[in-house]
Every structure is written in structure tokens, then in C-alpha cells.
Amino acid sequence: MNMFLRLLLIYIRARIRPRCPPLGPCETPFMVLPTDLDVYAHMNNGVYFSVMDLGRVDMLTRSGLLKSMREARYVPIVAAETIRFRRPLKIFQKYTVETRVIGWDDKAFLMEQRFLRPSKRGKAPDIIAEAVVRARFLCGNGAVPSSDFLSVLGAAGAASPPLPEWIDQWNSRQAQFRDTASA
């Protein structure tokens, strides 16, 4: 229920917040709620993944892509994700999830999502966690090739930016498995 209410707020706020580019970055503000905590009184590691979903929905909504995806009957799914935790988040701390597309291959888009909070030293924000997500799109006929989705973006034929080496290797390993959306 907690995430459903947050999702509803994402949709409502998207109407008044500034638009963001289709590939990001998109910054989505949050606060650690009591329902986010684990037994050690910091944000539960599973909650990070749910909040990442909300960050992606915010980016799709504010960029206008959600409407285009609905018209094309595309449904986004997560095929793989990995996260690295650097610092804890405690109750009522404010933080931001920064979401952006960092590249793609013929089947999937790769996104980076970072959890940031204001630095106590007044400099650049502290990175709390960093994640990489491999996302695919489905429609009634099955998996949607990245080239089709790029057309929805208005970027038909665009080449992917080069990926950092470790992400490229991770993505290649993920592609060796049969993606959930390939059937």
C-alpha cells in the first residue's frame, strides 16, 4: 500500500513538475518512511528496488513517453538489475533518485539509478546507492526491439553511447540468459 500511495503521488506531481528529457536525467525526491525500515532502523535493501521502479515511472511520465508507450501498447519490464550500497538511509531522511538511460543494445535499454542525499559538507550530494537496470519492452506480439522503441523516442537509428566496460560486460552476461521478455 505504501508504494501504491507513492505511485499515485508520482502521477499527481508529474503534472506540476518540470518535464525531463526522455533519456534523463530525471530527479525524483523521496523521504524514508517508517514502513521503509528494516530491523536495524535503516532503509531495507528491498525497498530500494521498489523506489527505483517509482523513479522510472516518474521519468516516463514527465518525459511524455508513458503516453506514447500506452498508444503503442508497450509495457516496460525489468530483465536484470544490480545495486551497490554505499551509505545507509535513516528514518525521515530526504533523498533523490536520479534516473537516466546510459545506453542500449538490440534488445534492452540500460539505465543508471543513483540514490543521492544532500551532503553535510555542502558540496556535491552523497551517493547512497548506485544501480544499473536492464529494461525491455513488451507488446502484444512479444518483445519489442530497441530500434522500435527508439522510433517512439523520435531517435530512430540512433547509436548507443559507449558503456563503461564493467556495465558492458555485465550486460553481455545478462544477454546470455534468455530474457524474460524474449518469448
CATH number at residue 30: 3.10.129.10
pTM exceeding 0.85: yes
- Residue 48's pLDDT is 97
What is the CA angle 152-158-160, rounded to 5?
A: 110
Range of the structural domain that residue 31 is part of: 2-182
> Tens digit of pLDDT for each residue in 39-73?
999 999 999 999 999 999 999 999 999 988 888 89
Residues of the chain with pLDDT under 50: 181-183
Beta strand spans in 62-108 (E): 75-85, 94-104
Distance CA 131, CA 100 (A): 11
Evaluate whether 174 touches 80 at the Cβ level (below 8 Å).
yes
- Residue 6's pLDDT is 94
- Tally of structural domains, the chain: 1
Q: At 13, list the grid cell.
A: 506531481
- Residue 183's pLDDT is 45
